[in-house]
Amino acid sequence: MIQDRVSPFKSLLKEHTELRAQVNTNRAVTMLNGNIVSNLRSEESGVSARMYKGGVYGFASGAEYSDENIRKVILAAEENANFMDSRIKKNKPMLPTVGTGKKELLKDVRDIEQKQLINFAKEIDEYISKTYSDLASRTIAIRCDSMEKLLTVSDGFDSHSLLPRSFVYIFLTANAKDGTPVELYKPFGGFGYFDEVFEKPESLHADIDSIYTDLMKKAEGVYCDAGYKDVVMHPDLAGILAHEAVGHTAEADLVLGGSVAVHNLGKPVASQLVTMVDFAHTALGEQAPLPIYVDDEGTPAEDAVLIKDGILTGYMNNRESAQHFGMKPQGNARAYLFSDEPLIRMRNTAILPGKDKLEDMIASIDDGYYLTKTNNGQADTTGEFMFGVCMGYEIKNGKLGRAIRDTTISGVAFEMLKTVDMLSDDMLWTCSGMCGKKQPMPVGMGGPAIKCKVSIGGR
Amino acid sequence: MKTNKEIATYALDALKKSGAEHAQCLVSSGKVDEFNVDSGEFSLMRTLFNSSITMKALLNGKKGVITVNKLDKESIDNAVCDCISAADSSVVDEAEAIAPKEENEDFISGVITPDKNKLFDRIQEFMDDVKNEYPKIVLEQSVSKYSNTESVFMNTNGVNYNYTRGHYDISSTFLARDGEKSSSFNGYGVLLDSLDRKIIDVGMLRTLLEESQNQIDTVPYAGKFVGKVIITPACLMDIVLTALGLFTSDSTIIDGTSPWKSMLGKQVASDKLSISKKPLDPQIVCGERFTGEGFKSANMDIIKDGILENFTLSNYASRKTGFPRALNSSYNLFVKPGEISLNELTKSCDRGILLNRFSGGQPSTNGDFSGVAKNSFLIENGKITNALSETMISGNLIDLLNSIIGVSSDTICDGYSVLPYILFDGVTVSGK
């Protein structure tokens, strides 16, 4: 656990200044066909300071965690802020206040031995190799990361926070009849240390069986017919839709940069069925996948409602953008490493569930697709988005048909969301991904099954 | 312990004393000064004092790797214990090894003494140039930095390399806006070893800024056709690296799923295609001098006149499979230029698209790809016409590499790579 060396410097922090000590850990084990090709532990730690002066920031960081180095980074941040202020002269006012207080650590800081991860991977690998000898390749990747932060600010909430995540990724490859490789993967896990998330390897056997079954169907699958189609997106895709296609366009820094959301505040951007929220720490009565209580500017975190009944109602802000737009900062300023400055980031972004049943949604389509797994996604500030789809099925006359090969779907978010006419009454959260925006960042995302129209790639 | 060499020597000694039969160590330290521009205005100046040590130990044929960013004795002692413990828990693998001793060498590259004020002035000038010459452009974010690093690699076979380097790194994300209409965002990055030139004149920046202004009004392609695509240097890097990752890299050669696994020395692409990785070329800024495994880097051909000359394997994968290891592990791609201009290449395209950015799903190991054509234009009867939106392309990377109609004589250098424009055939283009 990080020893508190930063709070004694609180009285020295000028203007608006954040002083943050942080430790990020990564533990990785990868087994490829029984070979351990990666057996890695890494740790990055240190202290940083960021000072706001007249509309510009100065930032500095260093790895050494000593009183002498803390003084050095505070001074370097101040020098940088002064340099920028003297050259730019924006003369902007101080940032808005957010109250004061302190949030204590809610979870013990721990570590997991590499041996435990390797043994887990070995047992999973043994199960797959014995059970499914017809596979062309198998990979088990275990990834555990954690982010502990100790924050002291000149004005705002101090906090001590911890975000541990643990995941097991299973990648299986089979050869199709024509000899070409076909692959499928799925991540398992979520918030917590490895032994809190995974009880024993056997608990994943049923899920591995399910991946294998899907893979074999995919190996005999067909290419999609490219075009504009009716689809049902599994909740796995709803989360990435919420995050990539809508969430990024509603980040206030991208709004200032010219995203599509700039001219749509208060206007209908989706079907009235759609409500979308960036949850801070509690979602629908339960802990959100990655709970954030205080952000890295010392702002207490609260939910940001982005779309309410189809109307774009708000943006996600840091203190500076909130002041610009006349909105309340809600705790979206997050930094990845100790050496990173806080950026406007999502936390746990979800489309809320509706009232429909999945089977009714599929039954309502004559000719379309049921898309069940995604492997990546990107979106534009115009709202044009793309997701890779690595598993799915044809829908013919309201019934599931043949499996499909890898494809890509695309659309323009605020147009596509207006085609949503059914939402399932359940939802699924994931937090295995890293959002990329100058810095990586763990984020949670979720949603129900969605029936809509999108463009689909094919042959 | 004051110098990186003293730290590496101490860590190797500690690893050996803790039982490692073989060990290697990379110690780096340096400083970064960075200026950020957000929404067209200066927003942040950032200074980072960086340090890191990565150590690898082999214990009874088992590997452990540790990376930490603190270089004090206590942190290194803890990392050594962690490294040995990780290795002890691992699985015996005879392919694991460390590099043999070669002649030791010190390398220096790039600009070692930065000019912070000149960098600031160049960024200001870039912002002014964009405002004056491309008035519809919004610089969404520009990150400009000077980085210097001193890295020492040592192993227990006596390998000892020292590399001191410094460079400027400019990356910019931008879009064009006109009233309530805006283009897709686009981005471009360059590495520089001097500030002699204006930033706006580097690489493809002017072309991309001009094109963004022409992408405010777009047309979704209606229908579907199989046609041609000119892939620009800004996009070609992603396409080539994806293909090399799928067909020539460690994972798919080790597990045997690469479609090229038995194609070494054989034709895998059009004879118009030659791809090399050349970190030592003078056009590359601060290219790799030794690999992460401790081998001195050398330039290498991967595909020459369509023939697969080399995979891009690590030493581990080489020992695992029996194929030769790659002579460098850089991303410094060179694609051999052709003999006709971009203008002539465009004229020879009856129906297709000019592809500046590909936003797609991770292609399959068999090479199938599909995705959205971003920042792209329709080409009709040899002329660039409408900017496109909501237009998808799909095909197969292996087929694509075998369907090259022409390669431009024009090349673009961005400090990382030197690449031409290539006209491919057989890509499916589909819209709403």
Residue recorded with tokens 């029936």: A451
Q: Given A88, A258, A387, which is nearest B140 (Cβ)? A: A258
pLDDT of residue B374: 93
**Which residue type occupies A420?**
V
Q: How far is B396 from chain A (nearest CA, A)?
A: 10
User: What would the pLDDT profile of B211-267 be if each residue is shown by its tens digit?
Assistant: 999 999 998 888 888 999 999 998 999 999 999 999 999 999 999 999 999 999 999
Interface probe for A, chosen from B69, B181, B212 (most Cβ of A below 10 Å), is: B69
Provide the mean pLDDT of chain A. 95
Q: pLDDT-derived band of residue B324, with 50, 70 and 90 as boundaries?
A: very high
Query: Which of the two residues, B431 and B206, has the higher pLDDT score?
Result: B206
In chain A, what residues touch B428 (CB-CB under 8 Å)? Answer: 226, 458-459
Cβ neighbors of A133 (< 8 A, separation 6 or more) are none
Select from B88, B365, B372 the Cβ nearest to the Cβ of A410. Answer: B372
Query: Which tokens belong to B97?
Result: 């090894």
Of A114, A108, A103, nearest to A164 by C-alpha is: A108
ipTM score here? 0.91
Choose the closest CB to A226 out of B224, B368, B390: B224
Q: Is B41 on the interface with A (CB under 8 A)?
A: yes
Assess whether pLDDT exceeds 70 at residue B127. yes
pLDDT digits (tens, 9 = 90+) for B64-97: 999 999 999 999 999 999 999 999 999 999 999 9
Task: Assess B360–A contact: CB distance below 8 Å, yes or no.
Answer: yes
Cβ of B257 and A173 within 8 Å? yes
- Which pLDDT does position A258 carry in this prediction? 87
Q: pLDDT (tens digit, 9 = 90+) per residue, A204-221?
A: 999 999 999 999 999 999
Distance from CA of A289 to the nearest CA of B (A): 25
Other Cβ atoms less than 10 A from the Cβ of B196: the count is 8
Same domain, B328 and B401: yes
Asked if A386 reaches chain B (Cβ–Cβ under 8 Å), the answer is yes
The answer to whether residues B237 and B272 belong to one domain is yes
Residue pair B284/B416 in contact (Cβ under 8 Å)? The answer is: yes
At A340-364, the pLDDT tens digits run 999 999 999 999 999 999 999 999 9
Residues above pLDDT 70, as percent of chain B:
100
Q: Does B175 touch chain A (CB under 8 A)?
A: yes
Give CA–CA dist A451/A422, Å, rounded. Answer: 5
B50-63 mean pLDDT:
96
**Using the beta-carbon criterion (under 8 Å), do A45 and B69 form an inter-chain contact?**
yes
Q: Chain-wide mean pLDDT for chain B?
A: 95
Q: Are B249 and B208 part of one and the same domain?
A: no
Q: Which residue of B has its CA nearest to A454?
A: B432
Determine which of A36, A404, A416 to mutate to test the interface with B (most B C-beta atoms within 10 Å). A36
More confident residue, A236 or A160: A160
Please check whether residues B293 and B424 belong to one and the same domain.
yes
In a domain, B418, yes or no: yes
> Are residues B149 and B108 part of one domain?
yes
The answer to whether A419 contacts chain B (CB < 8 Å) is no
Q: Is B189 on the interface with A (CB under 8 A)?
A: no
- Give yes or no: residues B114 and B172 share one domain: yes
Residues with Cβ within 8 Å of A266's Cβ and at least 6 positions away in sequence, in order, are A311, A312, A313
Q: Do the strands A450-456 and A407-412 form a parallel or antiparallel pair, or are they unpaired?
A: antiparallel
The share of chain B scoring above pLDDT 90, in percent, equals: 92
For residue A43, give the chain B residue with the closest CA: B68
Residues from chain B that touch A32, judged by Cβ atoms under 8 A, are: 251, 254-255
pLDDT beyond 70 at B300: yes
pLDDT per residue over A403-438, tens digit each? 999 999 989 999 999 999 999 999 999 999 899 889
Instruction: Evaluate whether residue B198 is within a structural domain.
Output: yes
Q: Is B279 exposed, middle or buried (0-12, 13-18, 19+ CB in 10 A)?
A: buried
Same domain assignment for residues B164 and B296: no
User: Which amino acid would we find at residue A443?
Assistant: V
**Of the partner residues A80, A173, A263, the one whose CB lies closest to the CB of residue B180:** A263
B42 chain-A contacts, CB cut-off 8 A: 56, 84, 87-88
Residues of A with Cβ-Cβ distance to B49 under 8 angstroms: 60-63
Task: Give the per-residue pLDDT at B358.
Answer: 93
pTM: 0.94
Last residue of a domain, one of B213, B240, B263: B213
Beta-carbon separation of B257 and A263 below 8 A = no
pLDDT of residue B431: 80
Where do we find the tokens 């964009």? B130
Question: Looking at chain B from residue 76 to 135, which residues have their Cβ under 8 Å from any Cβ of chain A?
Answer: 82-83, 85-91, 93, 95, 120
Q: Running DSSP on this structure, what letter comes out for residue A245?
A: I
Burial of A210 (0-12, 13-18, 19+ CB in 10 A): exposed
Q: Do B360 and A57 touch (CB under 8 A)?
A: no
Which residues of chain A have a CB within 8 Å of the CB of B67? 40-43
Q: Where in the sequence is the domain holding B252, given as residue range(s)?
A: 224-430
Q: Do residue A36 and residue B51 have CB atoms under 8 angstroms apart? A: no
Same domain for B420 and B325? Answer: yes
Q: If contacts are CB pairs under 8 Å, which of residues 71-90 in chain A contact chain B? A: 76-77, 80-81, 83-84, 87-88, 90
Task: Give all domains of chain A, ordered by start, each with its CATH number.
Answer: 7-219 (3.30.2290.10), 227-456 (no CATH)
The predicted pLDDT at position B223 comes to: 84
**Distance (Å) from the C-alpha of residue A169 to the closest C-alpha of chain B?**
15
Q: Per the CB < 8 Å rule, is B361 touching A36?
A: no
Task: Supply the DSSP string of B72-114, one letter for each residue.
Answer: SHHHHHHHHHHHHHHHHTS---TT---PPP---EEEEEE-SS-
- Residue B170 and residue B230 in one domain: no
Using CA atoms, how far apart are residues B159 and B153, in angstroms rounded to an integer?
A: 7
Looking at residue B221, its pLDDT comes to 83
* Domain end call among B213, B237, B256: B213
Q: Which of residues 156-195 of A touch B (CB under 8 A)?
A: 173, 180-183
Q: How far apart are CA A17 and CA B296, in angstroms?
A: 45
- Using the Cβ of B70 and the Cβ atoms of chain A, whether some distance falls under 8 Å is answered with yes
B267 touches chain A (CB under 8 A): no
Q: Could you tell me if B249 and B271 lie in one domain?
A: yes
> Which residue, B350, B333, B339, B330, is CA-closest to B406?
B339
- Is the CB of A130 inside 8 Å of chain B's CB atoms? no
CB contact under 8 A, A45 and B182: no
Residues 283-322 of chain A with CB under 8 A from chain B are: none
Q: Is A177 helix (H, G, I), strand (E, B) or coil?
A: coil
Residue in B67, B140, B361 nearest the CB of A42: B67
B26 within some domain: yes
Strand partners for A175: A181
**Residues A162, A166, A168: CA angle, nearest 5 degrees:** 170
User: What average pLDDT does this structure show over B345-365?
Assistant: 91
pLDDT of residue A459: 67
Whether residue B219 is contained in a domain is answered as no
Q: Kindly indicate the confidence band of residue A187, based on its pLDDT and cuts at 50, 70 and 90.
A: very high
Beta bridge partners of B424: B229, B404
Chain B residues close to A115, C-beta within 8 Å: 85, 88-89
Tell me if chain A has a CB within 8 Å of the CB of B250: yes
Q: Chain B interface, mutation test: which of A39, A111, A144, most B Cβ atoms within 10 Å?
A: A39
pLDDT recorded at residue B86: 95
Which residue, among A56, A62, A60, has the nearest Cα to A85 in the 3D structure? A56
Q: Does B293 touch chain A (CB under 8 A)?
A: no
At B198, which CATH number? 3.30.2290.10
Min Cα distance B192 → chain A (Å) is 20
Residue with tokens 């599929």: A362
Q: Residues B61, B194: one domain?
A: yes
Residue B263 domain-assigned (yes or no): yes
Query: Could B65 and A39 be called an inter-chain contact, meaning their C-beta atoms sit closer than 8 Å?
Result: yes
- List the end-to-end C-alpha distance of chain A, in Å, as a whole number: 54
Question: Does a structural domain hold residue B364?
Answer: yes
* pLDDT surpasses 80 at A200: yes
Task: Judge: B89–A33 Cβ closer than 8 Å, yes or no.
Answer: no
Domain for residue B144, yes or no? yes
- Cβ–Cβ under 8 Å, residues B163 and B151: yes
Residues B183-199 have pLDDT tens digits of 999 999 999 999 999 99
State the Rg of chain A over Cα: 24
Helices (H), B18-90: 73-88
Q: Are B248 and B260 in contact (CB under 8 A)?
A: yes
What are the structure tokens assigned to A211, written together?
């991946």
Kindly determine whether residue B120 and residue A87, on different chains, have CB atoms separated by under 8 Å: yes
* Contacts across the A-B interface (CB distance below 8 Å): 255
Band (B24; pLDDT cuts 50, 70, 90):
very high
Q: State yes or no: pLDDT of B1 exceeds 80.
A: no
What are the beta bridge partners of residue B189? B171
pLDDT at A245 over 90: no
Q: Which residues of chain A lie closer than 8 angstroms to B87, CB-CB?
A: 39
Q: Smallest CA–CA separation between B120 and chain A, in Å?
A: 9
Q: Is residue B218 situated within a structural domain?
A: no
Separation in Å, CA of B334 to nearest CA in chain A: 27
Q: pLDDT at position A179, please?
A: 84
Residue A430's pLDDT is: 94
Which residues, 6+ apart, have CB-to-CB distance to B343 below 8 Å?
A: none
Tally the domains of chain B: 2
Same domain membership, residue B250 and residue B372 = yes
pLDDT value of position B43:
96
Closest CA to A419 of A428, A427, A411: A411
B316 at the A interface (CB within 8 A)?
yes
A222 touches chain B (CB under 8 A): no
Write phi, then psi, for B407 (nearest 5 degrees).
Answer: -125, 135
Please check whether residue B182 touches A, CB under 8 A: yes
CB atoms within 10 A of CB A23: 20
Contact B371 A227 (CB under 8 A): no
What would the pLDDT profile of B369-425 be if each residue is shown by its tens digit?
Answer: 988 999 999 999 999 999 998 898 999 999 999 999 999 999 999 999 999 999 999
B26: Cα separation from own chain's centroid: 21
Q: Which of A280, A283, A270, A336 is nearest to A303 (CA)?
A: A280
- Look at residues B193, B213, B233 and tell me which one is the last residue of a structural domain: B213
